[in-house]
A and B are shown apart, each in its own frame.
Chain A
Amino acid sequence: MQFMLLFSRQGKLRLQKWYLPLSDKERKKISRDLVQTILARKPKMCSFLEWRDLKIVYKRYASLYFCCAVEDQDNELITLEIIHRYVELLDKYFGSVCELDIIFNFEKAYFILDEFLLGGEAQETSKKNVLKAIEQADLLQEEAEAPRSVLEEIGLT
């Protein structure tokens, strides 16, 4: 996968993850272009797009669009399912996720994404394992927040 974008129906970017090295300017241009193109598409249209030499796979969930760029020879259908699995993960984590959860806790959404996809490749496809990893890290956070002192070296072995 080359990059992933989440944006709202109003065209506001909610999350962006780039797996290929691009300058800031290029990133902005690409996301602006794609947001425009995708928002202009009708609901019954194909979920795939050709864009430069990449394939864009997108899907709308409620008010949010999830959009991934893959290479031309990649399997578009499985990319759709990657999006879906990510949505499932978010849903499970936030408990019935909505756009607001992602807006206000976007760093959590990133953590989940990083646990699921690493460097653009599916890292762990078991829902249970991904969430376990996130919970362990969160646990650390809560414990840390309680005493607020000896934070270092909480070995979780």
Chain B
Amino acid sequence: MSDVVEKTLTALPSLLSFDSQPGAAKLSSTSKLASLIRGITELTSKHEEEKLIQQELVAIKDQVSSPNTSMRQMKELMVRAIYCEMLGYEASFCYIHAIKLAQQGTALDKRVGYLAVALFLHESHELLLLLVNTVLKDLQSTNLIEVCMALTIVSQLFPKDMIPAILPLVEEKLTHPKEIIRRKAVLALYKFYLIAPNQVQHIHNKFRKALCDKDPGVMTASLHIYLQMIKENPEGYKDLTGSFVTILKQVVGGKLPMDYNYHSVPSPWLQIQLLRILSLLGKDDQSSSEIMYEVLDESLRRAEMNHNITYAILYECVKCIYTIHPKDELLEKAAKCIGNFILSPKINLKYIGLKALTYVVQQDPKLALQHQMTIIECLDHPDLIIKRETLELLFRITNGKNVTVIVEKLLDFLRTSKDDYTTIDLMGKVAEVAEKYAPDNKWFIATMNTVFSLGGDLMQPDIPNNFLKLISEGFDDGEQDRMLRLFAVDSYVSLLQGEPEKLPQRFLQVISWVLGEYSHLREDLEPATVVRLLAHVLDLKQASSETKSWVLLAMTKLCEGEAAMSVLQGVSETYSSSMDTVLRQRAQELQNLHLNPELWARVLPRDAFTEPLEVDSSLSFLDGYVSEALAAGAAPYKSPHQRQEELAQAKAVSMEPYGLSLPISMSLSSLDGRQSPTLLSMSSGLSGDSTDHSHKAGTTTLKLDKVKRVWGREGYLAQRESAVVEVPSPVHSADQIEEVGISQDPTPPPVADQEKQQLASSLFVGLGSQTSSSLMGKSEPKHQRLRKKAKDPVSSSEISKQTSNSIFPPPISVDNLLCNSNMDPKKSLPSCTQMTESSQGSAAANGTCAAEGEFTEGDVQGPEPSLFRDNRLTIAGSCETEEPVGMKDLCLTSYLPADCIGANHSEFTPLCSSHGVHLSACHVHKDDTLVLLVFISNSSNSDVHQFIVQVDSGDVEVSCLSESPVEELRCHHVEVCQYSLTAKRPSVHLEVSGLVSFNMPDRTPQTTHFSYKLPLPSFIRPLELSTEEYGTMWLAFSHDTKQNLTLVADVQDSLRATLDVLERKLHLHVVAIIGMEGIVACRLLPDQPCLMHCRVHGGTLAVWLRSPVPDLPDCLLYHCQRALQEV
């Protein structure tokens, strides 16, 4: 392959001196760059090179800063500067000149200027801001090349904050007559999508146009965006499955221009991109997958040529086939492909084969069996990467029977690994499988010892943490627990007696904790011996102060017996004057506790783990202290978030010291809200927050005495069916491998090496025969957990009863529907009753799944035809066809509270229903709040008791308006709960979630979840202002966003008409319209202002939003766009 450029250049200097050589013909021998390069090649030492380059840089610096340097010379200087930077010498003085060149040069100078900028600067470089105007200018240029250059730089690096400034121009280019411009514009938008997805939300429709572009290049470029969007939200693009399949069919069938062929394979890049998209769309979705089967089969069939590129396509096909809903015929073919890869003598293909096998082995463990001999060979492969990938594969097939062999292999590799990244990764894996599948205690402790010693201090802290948790919590069998701990103690004592200075810190910490806690289990071991061993660790030079404090704590637990006491005395004296405050504290504790044995026994009780410890995570015991402090005049606690917000507000306001930041009534209410002096809420706020911190800190800090208490009861239970059972494994001999269907390259006939056969039988034991659940540790951690944890608080029978109703579409008002159409694919759920039935059905079928409390969408939507993806239609449909709901609507109106009857209420949305209890909701717009009404109706023939409704939300502040909570619900009765909602933080949609629990007449408890989505405009209220007030506030607000919107067409005063639409739909207040400009104001409940300035400009409406609240402008802008698109 390399013959294309097989034109080796042997002696560089000699070539340079003979101009007749073909390579040199193109060099301009006069150019300064050429002489620089020539100069460098003639040098002999690194030192000389450095000197020469420094000289060169000085010369360049002189020239670039001279006013007489023309742009043309500047271009030449830039090229030299790039060269120097590439050699590793800094030329940062040139950066600004590169920007200048891009700005001022002629088209061809610009090209170099832009190139230099792209090479010199990175995405967050501050100088990039200076480039924005240049880009803006070039995007508007009539010269195609300049537009191309601008688009190129924009797709490489552009400051995120400045995207709105150029977005309209880039968007415009999507309809440019030249395909090269359209293509680059698509890629620029892809880049924007990656760095600021919400900025390009409104152009999703245009992406569809790019997908349908007649130029294959533009279409291919648009797939980058689609791949990304589908990755994030596969449900939203299912309707495109058919289109992607059609495109792939055409590509595979050779319908694209010949230009796009690569080694006579039609557009491989496009094929691969499409295969990736299809695998995302077909994942867990049978109906979508079925559309793909044919084209996948075709792709497999067509990719027959013996060339790298076809293998690349095949690999992607195989991955796709194993990702989507399975089809036996295809799986068989894909498996054959993987076999061909693995058995190939070409090392790259072998690697890809292993990678593919690793990917699929979770679904098809038998495939690994077929190739066991090859895998064994790969384990000893001289190339590390092959070995590494093989280990990855082994890790995936680990089970209780082969764990010892596999862990041994992993540890062997760990011992030789020099790369930190690999070490950390493998260590985690060894610890994972060792915990999960350990055959016996001795092996487990020995393995973990190796992990701790090899891992050193690179280890992630969760490995020792999990290990200690496991040791302390043990499993159900007390005797087993004791044995495990005893083993640990034994092995640690002997380790400390050996060479403790060779042990890493983390390991020493683990050792000291275990010895402190459990050394008493070994009766023949004197505490004094342990204390002496630990004291030795304290004396180690390399022991960190963290380790020392673990050791001191362990010693504190060992205050028993005369001999130990005397050692401890010495230790505590030494460290009670330590410079390290933590150590000093530990030493003091040690001293005081050992003087007072009663206190000691109470503080550090033995075997504290046998009883679960209650942790008061709300820190309610501090409430008294807090209220005292507050009463004494202390300032109430504010969460960091709140403080930051206030700081931001204070900053914004301070620019205009006497300005009215808000109308008086509102600012009053805001003060009220913040300083609310009710002790209860204050203290609970405090408690909540501080627990967060303690949890976070818990993993790293030195709260040693607390450590055991923070840990929960969830733990692993080692398998007790210990001892490796040597099952006679289905060893496949060489002829069997061939029979599997390997066409190309028969492997060197394996000399039925006894050793390898044995290894194979121990590695692949249990792969074929067992059920899948125990095979794939990684894929089903949930399963594993449930199986092992007998003490799980919720019994599985309870779980299966729990019905979970996921989100229902709120078919509220027109604008709401609009917002939903693109945003949330979950909306297209089946109608209410269907949903409940199906979820109950599946809950009963697999109770373990329901433990999550939510169903995967795939489960629920199984029978739904995927065509119903256009959300708007489905939502409307489900409401209209569902008659009971419609009926209920009518009835519910009569239950509206008196003060809501006149007000504008949204449609009733069914939330959930369970055992004859139905929940529906609607919301009512009021001036100062948004009222959420939840209607609970009992259509069954019996009463339900202990009824509790809880509504909660991260986005929304919820307060209950009903005087007394509903407790009982008589049959055929409807109760109404009222909640007042205000927004905590802006978001395109705000979601309220809730929980209903009640007891059935037969006393069985029921729990159901629901959620309700509210579009931002529900929380928007007009803000009445004078123009002067508006002006003052405008200056004070720091968060802004700009965008061009479409004007309402075909009317005389389009500005007025557009603003009317916004006023009507989004409840904005139009402050004034002056000529071609308009100012608009609104507030987000309760009192967050947002101002909008609009100007008619070139047929579009240029709007500029400002607010003191981050994200509010963006979110509001989104709804403005939607509102106007609908017109």
Contact = CB atoms under 8 A, between A and B. Distances in A.
Interface of A: 12-19, 21-24, 28, 44-53, 60-64, 75-78, 80-81, 84-85, 87-88, 90-91, 94, 96-101, 103-107, 110-111, 114, 118-119, 121-129, 133, 136-137, 140-141, 144, 151-157
B224 A121 contact: yes
Q: How large is the interface on B (under 10, 10 to 19, 20 to 34, 35 or more residues)?
A: 35 or more
Given A78-B269, A125-B269, A155-B143, A48 B385 contact: yes
Contact of B37 (A87, A104, A140, A152): A104
A9 to B, nearest CB: 10
19 contacts: A15-B86, A44-B347, A46-B347, A46-B350, A63-B8, A77-B348, A78-B309, A81-B312, A100-B23, A105-B26, A106-B82, A111-B115, A114-B118, A125-B267, A126-B260, A127-B259, A129-B180, A140-B107, A144-B106
A94 B26 contact: yes
B79 interface: yes
A131 to B, nearest CB: 11
A51 B386 CA distance: 14
A97 B88 CA distance: 25
A85 B261 CA distance: 11
A1 B88 CA distance: 23
Given A18-B122, A101-B26, A156 B145 contact: yes
B270 interface: yes
A96 B183 CA distance: 29
Given A100-B24, A140-B145, A156-B144, A118 B272 contact: no
B221 interface: yes
Nearest to A60: B2
A100 B5 contact: no
B111 A111 contact: yes
A13 B5 contact: no
A46 B348 contact: yes
Contacts of A80: 308, 312, 348
Indicate the member of A75, A77, A103 with the most B CB atoms within 10 Å.
Answer: A77
B492 interface: no
B197 to A, nearest CB: 15
Interface in B286-334: 308-309, 311-312, 315-316
Contacts of A137: 108, 111, 145, 148
Contacts of B9: 62-63, 98-100
Contacts of B118: 114
B729 interface: no
Nearest to A6: B86
B312 to A, nearest CB: 4
B262 A125 contact: yes
B385 A100 contact: no
A81 B316 CA distance: 14
A151 B26 contact: no
A93 to B, nearest CB: 11
B124 interface: yes
Contact of A140 (B8, B108, B220, B224): B108
Given A61-B4, A154-B107, A157-B178, 16 more contacts: A28-B88, A45-B347, A45-B383, A47-B348, A48-B351, A48-B385, A52-B421, A98-B5, A98-B8, A118-B155, A121-B224, A122-B220, A127-B259, A140-B108, A155-B143, A156-B144
A121 B187 contact: yes
Contacts of B155: 118-119
B107 to A, nearest CB: 6
A155 to B, nearest CB: 5
A123 B221 contact: yes
B347 A107 contact: no
A36 to B, nearest CB: 13
Interface string B416-432: 00010110000000000
B780 interface: no
A84 B268 CA distance: 13
A62 B82 contact: no
A24 to B, nearest CB: 7
Nearest to B261: A126
B985 interface: no
Contact of A77 (B88, B267, B311): B311
Contacts of B268: 78, 81, 125
B217 A49 contact: no
B124 A21 contact: yes
Contacts of A126: 216-217, 257, 259-260
Given A15-B86, A100-B15, A114-B152, A78 B351 contact: no
A154 B309 CA distance: 40
